[in-house]
Amino acid sequence: MSALAPITLNDGQATPVAHTFNPVSRVGNFVTYRENGVGLPFDAERVITTDLKTTQNAHTVTLKVYVPYLEEISGQTPGGYVAAPKLAYFEQSVHVFNVPRRGSELERKDILAFAEGLLSEPQIVELITKLTAQLS
């Protein structure tokens, strides 16, 4: 197994910005990465988790990306107190790869390539970003 290293991903903004997720914990094959934002509350940090589970016949790799969004805070008390922002909602992406033990590394490269291609395919991008279902 390779050593844990930071993961850097670009966001989807008009001018993409690179975000670095640092490994913060590992329990068995479950690893948590966090984007440690300066000045952000702990529950407002973006998180990636990876997990590898093995059974007698298969391996399951689960990847999750969690992106929280905070409430917009406006105003303050007469004494100048401004409440800390609270979690408003989050976006999450979950990817599960189920691969049989008897499968080869080349076959696992194929399923990964199909998944990467699927997520960048224009119809799928529109489905996710604009919530536009395909019509016949």
Cα angle value 110/63/58 (rounded, 5°): 60
Please, are residues 33 and 22 in contact by the beta-carbon 8 Å criterion? yes
Q: What are phi and psi of 51, to 5 degrees?
A: -145, 140
Q: Could you tell me the two tokens for 19? A: 């975000």
User: Residue 79: its pLDDT value, please?
Assistant: 83
User: What are the pLDDT digits (tens) for 73-84?
Assistant: 777 778 878 777
Percent residues over pLDDT 90 in the chain: 74
How far apart, in whole angstroms, are the C-alpha atoms of residue 73 and residue 26? 34
User: Residue 74: its pLDDT value, please?
Assistant: 77
User: Residue 135: its pLDDT value, please?
Assistant: 65
Statement: residue 136 has pLDDT above 60: no
Give me the chain's average pLDDT, please: 91
User: Residue 73: its pLDDT value, please?
Assistant: 78
How far apart, in whole angstroms, are the C-alpha atoms of residue 4 and residue 26? 9
**What mean pLDDT comes out for the span 17-32?**
96
**What mean pLDDT comes out for the span 39-65?**
93
**What is the model's pTM?**
0.87
